[in-house]
Structure 1
Amino acid sequence: MKTKLVNYFVYVGVASHLLLLIIIIWQPRLFGKLVSMPMNYYYSKSAQLEIDNYSKLITLSIEEQIDKVFFPWQPKPNLSNKKQTVQVNGVSFSSLKLAVKSLKSGDELQIYDGIYTKPFKINEDNITIIGYGHVVFEKSAYDGKAFVVSKGENLTIKNIECRFIAVKDKNGACIRQEGKNITLDHVYFHHSENGILEKSKRPGNIYIFDSRFELLGKNGKAHGVYSSTANLYINNSLFIATKSEGHAIKNRAEKTFISNSLITSLSSDDSRLIDIPNGGVLSVERSLLHQGPLSVNGQAIAFGMEGVRYEKNEINITNNIILLERIKKNTLLVTAEVDMTPIIEGNIVVNTNSNQQYKNNSFYQSRSEAALSEYPSFPKEICQFMNPCPLI
């Protein structure tokens, strides 16, 4: 009887291994699925535990988190006390359309308090658009592109709010730059597909100062800021809760400089904080970077992942506060194979679920270990670099 049992198990073992070998040879996909099932079960359980832990923290909607953490954007007041709607160099017009039609190079388009729903195109060079009081552009796009389409050179836009811009191809924007050089000063772009979308055949520069980009993005194709050819200079600005797998900042041009700014996912389903798909020079200094618990992409910053096109490639990430709190894997920086050594120094880094470390930085496993305020708040230390302080 004992011999029969031994023989039975031997035959069963041989038959099982032969069956497994046949599956591996003839149905490798089925074998892969069989192997991955217990692994997927384990990781899904682990992820669910972390989600459950974070769900205790994420008790507010994204809008409620924003209201709790940040002061609301405020337009600069209309100190002129003028009652006009639109002027060009102090001359009044009955409509924004007529004012835009009259513009000549070097003119100033002055727009006064109100909500404007008629989009427009700027063809002339050296135009300045200034909002006096609370000026809102909303719910419309010129030629199915953006509320403002810029064809000229050296456009400046100041003190304007723009919201609710969506178009048929899902790539609408508050501003579409098809000209060369644009400056945004104290603008608030939100609840739209793109904030600013640059698609120019004339490489130039984008300058962004004291501005706020919030709840922007669409299907991974629209972003807070997208530049195709223009170098990007960002200072003293906010990028909050990019959504729908969009990047907060995506720049294909050669140079990207970010300073004294705050970029956060909160609990949105964004992708990367910063995407530099074709390499070049990237500098991030004296800023706060926060990858939230529900970010879709585990990479906070990516460099050259769509093909490096520039001879000079440099990365400088220094003196920042970096909070990487994604539930799954967190990666601060991923780069293509390129001959360079990133400079990553002087940062305070809270990085959960990652073994990625760099010398000359302070690494912590949690906010509490770093003595920083708990989610969704941010440390007030960033206020020494931002004026005015955006944090409540």
Structure 2
Amino acid sequence: MHRLNLAVYLTVIFSVTPTMPAQATDWLVGPQRALKLPSAAASLAKDGDVVSIDAGLYRGDVASWPQQRLTIRGLEGGAHLDALGNAAEDKAIWELKGNDIVVENIELSGATAPALNGAGIRFEGTNLTLRNCHFHHNQMGILTGFNPNSDILIENSEFNDNTVDYPRYGKLGHNIYIGNIHRFTLRNSYVHDASTGHNVKSRARESYILYNRITDERNGSSYLVDLPDGGAGYLIGNLFHQGANTENAAMLAFAAEHNQTLPNQLLYLVNNTLVNDHPGGSFLNNHSVATAVLINNLLIGEGTELIGPVQEDHNLRSTVNALSNPANYDYRLAPDSLAIDRGILPGLAANGFNLTPEFQYRHPRGSEIRQPQGPIDAGAYEFSVGSKN
């Protein structure tokens, strides 16, 4: 009887003990490694693995990644993949197909494709995080498809000069193009010089554009931010600059393509600094019947128009004299700016999202805690003697 009970006991123990997952492999890539190129790791890595790439320039190397829960990271200052015009599956430098992917400390440039949408990354899975990455001189920076369950987070990253020769081909390239997903968050990032395309285009049901510098500097974009399908948009604490040679008069566009007559949409612009150098341009073109709510924004420049239904509260229209050094895109407040102590606490959005800015952009590709002293200031920055941009 004793042996029988012991056997039953052991059977129970082993049947309820979970199987331990296999330990993740960290695949090391670099000129002095066994794996010389990232594409070699793409063919070997399994679900849940890590790919660590030594700093350096990897020319002409592109890859498709089918793995789930993969982390790809650059080491010691970052890895740069210059595609030299190549694209995996005629789509991107990296074609990411799996779910729950993290990419960190990677620079991607030089992708072209026959369809004129060669991207640094084409993402086809569910849930992606990009952190401390740089996308430049591709036809598209990042391009994602339709996935209503997907969340995408981009933080502390830079996108610039991702474009297509529009006069020659009649097609636009965008720095960031997010498809029909659940939620898109862009924060603490530097997005600039889209050149005829959009700096940020998002078809996500929810778009959170938080504490970024989104600017036309050397080139003129089409829109700084385009939310063409409407939805719920939260633009808080951003620096926006529209150049004189922009393709569209509006800096920001909402529901320009779809869902104009849906009333249950949300658009909040809170504590942004918008500088418009385009004569006759507008800060916002809201194509929806839903009312956009603008609170504590600092509006500077030639075009002061807000098109479409809007509700304004404690916004300030001013000149570049309100800013510390606008010629160098330093949009901190001047000591005598009328924006100081101008704002109010924004409170909560209709769905309960807290609209009060917690941070402010710090160049390049960062942020710092925003610390009001007295009433909150209008615009993206809280005035502070000796603060850093």
2:102 corresponds, among 147, 156, 168, to 156
Quote how far apart the aligned CAs of 1:308 are: 0.9
1:188 corresponds, among 126, 134, 144, to 134
* Backbone CA RMSD of aligned residues: 2.7
Q: Which residue of structure 2 lines up, in the alignment, with residue 208 of structure 1?
A: 154
Unaligned 5+ runs, structure 2: 1-26, 334-356, 366-387
Q: 2: CA distance between counterparts of 1:121 and 1:238?
A: 27
TM-score (norm 2): 0.72
One-letter amino acid of the counterpart of residue 263, structure 1: I
Quote how far apart the aligned CAs of 1:375 are: 2.4
Quote how far apart the aligned CAs of 1:312 are: 3.6
Contact 1:252 1:279 in 2 (8 A): yes
Quote how far apart the aligned CAs of 1:102 are: 1.4
Deviations 1:57-108 (A, max 9, x none): xxxxxxxxxxxxxxxxxxxxxxxxx996189xxx953543332111111100
One-letter amino acid of the counterpart of residue 113, structure 2: V
Contact 2:106 2:133 in 1 (8 A): yes
Q: Which residue of structure 2 lines up, in the alignment, with residue 325 of structure 1?
A: 277
Quote how far apart the aligned CAs of 1:256 are: 0.6
Contact 2:29 2:41 in 1 (8 A): no
Q: Which residue of structure 2 lines up, in the alignment, with residue 147 of structure 1?
A: 93
2:259 corresponds, among 296, 308, 313, to 308
Contact 2:199 2:223 in 1 (8 A): yes
Quote how far apart the aligned CAs of 1:360 are: 1.4
Paired residues, number:
303
Aligned to 2:214, the other structure's residue is in SS state strand
Q: 1: CA distance between counterparts of 2:200 and 2:361?
A: 19
1:114 aligns to 2:56 (yes or no) = yes
1:225 aligns to 2:176 (yes or no) = yes
Report matched runs for 1:39-188 at 5 Å: 85=30, 93-116=35-58, 117-133=60-76, 134-138=78-82, 139=84, 140-188=86-134
One-letter amino acid of the counterpart of residue 386, structure 1: Y
Aligned to 2:54, the other structure's residue is in SS state strand
One-letter amino acid of the counterpart of residue 220, structure 2: D
Contact 2:28 2:53 in 1 (8 A): no
One-letter amino acid of the counterpart of residue 259, structure 2: V
Q: Which residue of structure 2 lines up, in the alignment, with residue 386 of structure 1?
A: 361
One-letter amino acid of the counterpart of residue 68, structure 2: D
One-letter amino acid of the counterpart of residue 320, structure 2: R
Report matched runs for 1:231-242 at 5 Å: 231-242=183-194
Q: 1: CA distance between counterparts of 2:37 and 2:301?
A: 53
Q: Which residue of structure 2 lines up, in the alignment, with residue 367 of structure 1?
A: 320
Quote how far apart the aligned CAs of 1:376 are: 4.2
Q: Which residue of structure 2 lines up, in the alignment, with residue 257 of structure 1?
A: 208
Aligned-pair identity (%):
24
Deviations 1:340-388 (A, max 9, x none): 2211010111031444494411101x312x2442424322459x71346
1:345 corresponds, among 287, 291, 295, to 295
Aligned to 1:300, the other structure's residue is in SS state strand
